Amino acid sequence: MNVSGSTFTDIVMNQVLGGVTTLGVSVGQMEGTAAANQYGFAFNPFSPGEFIAQFSSTNPYSCFFVKGTITEVGGVPQITSETPVQFQAEGSNSLDGPHFDYVKPGQWTSAYHTNGNSQYGTVCFGQLGSPPVENLTSSNFIGMSNGLYVDGATSSVTLKGGVSTNQTGLAVGSTYYVQPDGTIAASAGTPSVEAGLAISSTSLLLTSEAGATGADGADGADGATGATGAAGADGVDAVAGSMTHFHSAIQDVTNASTLTYTFSELTNAIHYQVFLNRLVLRPTEYSVSGTTVTLVAGTHDISDELEVTGFSLA
């Protein structure tokens, strides 16, 4: 309710539907006052079970309103009520109301006369509001208002990237976060939505959470060809020497199963060829180890002639 607040204790409204046909209200002792002596009661036609109770105290006379709700639990009516709100601090009695508007949801009126206003009649108007809906998400914070505005008024908003200069009590250098109720604090709420960085006690640089890491960029172009390296060192001069050409004597094959033959001419040989019946053998048809030539089986036969020729170091 949009009326001034007051503090009360021991508000009892547990007999509203106590088996009687006429709806009644029992209001307990109010802080610093005597019990209520007059009251009125009305249901909200747009919200089943919701009601407004109006009552006055006698020491001193004061006018109060309380909002409540009637529900049924297991067939038993249950009443919950908010803290009563004091609307008229001076003497008030002869209550008439409250009365709900059947056209505009939540609006109501009440009439009474006040002792502090020459017994003149007074009419008050009220509006029942709904609890604020918290709809903050990690992506719907766009900025901050530059002032206070009523519903429906055109407002000016500082967007992210700008500086909001109508803050108070900021700690310079601290990061502030938007809270679900629209305020800001130095600790994150749920969800965590960064508002900005305090650059003075009254100014907030509006920022936002870091975005996702971007994709890797394309590979860069190849670099220029490097300079030519230094020339290598000169090789070692070859040892001077003399080579001797040799041609061995012919060895007759007397047994086809004999595969190894010795030629002393192969000593220190650096180049040679093996001949069978004056034809050069292929490298796959023999092997040489030192002065021994080993033939591949099937390469030769009885009465074949075998010889070697080449060069050797002196």
Domain boundaries, the chain: 36-127, 159-206, 243-313
The per-residue pLDDT for 170 is 95
Q: Report the mean per-residue pLDDT for the chain.
A: 76
Write down the pTM of the prediction: 0.33
Report pLDDT digits (tens) over 260-312. 999 999 988 888 999 999 999 998 999 999 999 999 998 899 999 999 999 88
In angstroms and rounded to an integer, the radius of gyration of the C-alpha atoms of the chain is 55
Query: What's the CA gap between 10 and 127, in Å, rounded?
Result: 25
Burial environment of residue 37 by CB neighbours within 10 A (0 to 12, 13 to 18, 19 or more): middle
Cβ contacts of residue 292 below 8 Å, gap of 6+? 260, 261, 262
Q: Would you place residue 207 in the very low, low, confident or very high pLDDT band (cuts 50, 70, 90)? A: confident
Higher pLDDT, 67 or 2: 67
Per-residue pLDDT, 81: 74
* Number of other residues whose CB lies within 10 A of the CB of residue 281: 19
Closest CA to 16 of 69, 57, 83: 69
Query: What is the longest distance spanned by two Cα atoms in the chain?
Result: 158
Give the pLDDT confidence score for residue 87 in this predicted structure: 64
**Which of 55-69, 90-104, 137-151 has the largest mean confidence?**
137-151
Instruction: Give me the count of residues in the chain.
Output: 314
User: Residue 108's closest CA among 28, 58, 37, 47?
Assistant: 47
Q: How does 63-81 read in b/e, with b if 16+ C-beta sit within 10 Å?
A: bbbbbbebeeeeeeeebeb
